[in-house]
Amino acid sequence: MKTNNLFIGLLLFLLIPIYSCSNEENDDPVELTIAKTMLDVSYGTDAQQVFDLHLPANRSSNYTKTLILVHGGAWIEGDKADMNYAVDIIKQFLPDYAIANVNYRLASAGNYAFPMQIDDIDAIVQKLKNENYGISDDFGFVGTSAGGHLSMLYSYGYNANNDIKMVCSIVGPTNFTDPNYTNNQAWLDLYYNLTGVNYADNPTYYEQLSPLFRATTSSVPTILFYGNADPLIPTSQGVDLHAKLGQLGVYNEFNLYNGGHGDWSQTDTLDAYTKLIAFIQNKF
């Protein structure tokens, strides 16, 4: 469940600045005036528990917000490098935001995705809050595919301290109880491999993994991007969440393009990019 690089064509139009790199984890206050990149910052003991942190110049713990990028890959593959194109675009058009481009532990046989991956997302948020990076405690998510699911699930179900202020899902699953999935044996097999729980034995468990069922009246502003011919994510996944958020009175934007799992035309890709940047500027 790994998207094509949604905005990759747009990089032809960008002039990408060069930033200094460091593996240091603490920011000296003297350095807050300059941009800084920290690669493979560890937030746990596993080799996969790392993120890249891109810090803007003139940042402050009073006002600098952070966008957390979460890659896709069906919860079993993928890497933060898959989101590097988004890092470049954000640096160019949202230069005052910090960016955390994250890895999380990938599921494998007997190593279940849940709650492991949500625990990793929480550990990342806590690390960003507790270290002296010169950023505020305001965070937003941009996730693709499985990463979109994790971003929404955390934002709706685990945002007890109101640290998360917005979420973007690019072709992310929202409802694991959708008949398009539960009537498909391949998906049911994937469910079991990800959780160790048979859907038929405990459908309520799968509701708890579904952002659709975790959304409340206090959920954060949400922007959604889906394709009308996606072989992995039925249109109902986006349509139903859009309707649910509307019923709850939660601000949200829903965008549906011609095409599949992020492989849209350059015109639609540019439209999605423009809307996402505007959403971040206006709602975060």
For the segment 80-110, what is each residue's pLDDT rounded down to a tens digit?
A: 999 999 999 999 999 999 999 999 999 999 8
Average pLDDT across the chain, whole number: 92
The pTM (predicted TM-score) of the whole model is: 0.91
For the segment 114-152, what is each residue's pLDDT rounded down to a tens digit?
A: 999 999 999 999 999 999 999 999 999 999 999 999 999
What are the tokens at 235? Answer: 């249109």
Identify which of 136, 137, 21, 124 has the alpha carbon closest to the alpha carbon of residue 68.
Answer: 124
Cα separation, 252 vs 211, in Å, equals 14
Cα atoms in the 13 Å half-sphere on the side-chain side of 213: 12
Dihedrals phi, psi of 115, to nearest 5 degrees: -90, 10
Q: Domains in the chain, ordered, with CATH?
A: 8-173+211-283 (3.40.50.1820), 176-209 (no CATH)
Cα separation, 47 vs 217, in Å, equals 38
pLDDT of amino acid 1: 53
Q: Is 45 exposed, middle or buried (0-12, 13-18, 19+ CB in 10 A)?
A: exposed
Identify which of 170, 266, 146 has the alpha carbon closest to the alpha carbon of residue 224.
Answer: 170
